[in-house]
Structure formats: C-alpha cells, structure tokens
Copies of this chain bind each other. A is one copy, B any other.
C-alpha cells in the first residue's frame, strides 16, 4: 500500500517552486501525493493544523509535517 503524502501550499512563489521540485520528486511507486491549495480549500486548514503544519509550503508524510522553506504562516490564510 502506498503512503499518503499531502503537500499543502497557498500559491505563493516559494510554494510553487517547492511543489514542482520537492513534491514532484517523491517516488510515485511508494507515495500517493495530494496537492492542497489552502487558499482555495480553507476547510482543510484545520486538517493541516492537526497534522502539525504551521506554515506553507509543507509536506505531510506518513502523518509528520515537514516545512519546506517558508512561504506564509498558516494564520494569514484563515
């Protein structure tokens, strides 16, 4: 079974670069990668917070949040 990976972003330039490079670099044989734009999917901000996401872009892999560089704090998206 593949591991779920969720990449949260907000459309910022730092986010897009991380999406096109880091999120796209994950092994498709082992990961199902979902891309979530929190600016357009505000109900999912709470889900991201529960996973430990504090800023975007962030990648949640196997339930753990990894913040990749810094685009925006989650609080500004609410």
Contact = CB atoms under 8 A, between A and B. Distances in A.
B69 A22 contact: no
A53 to B, nearest CB: 11
A16 B31 CA distance: 20
A56 interface: no
A17 B29 CA distance: 21
A68 interface: yes
A62 B24 CA distance: 12
Query: Is the contact region of chain A dominated by helix, strand, or loop, or is it mixed?
Result: strand
A67 B70 CA distance: 8
Nearest to A62: B21
Interface in A19-74: 21-22, 25-31, 59, 61-62, 64, 66-70
A66 B22 contact: yes
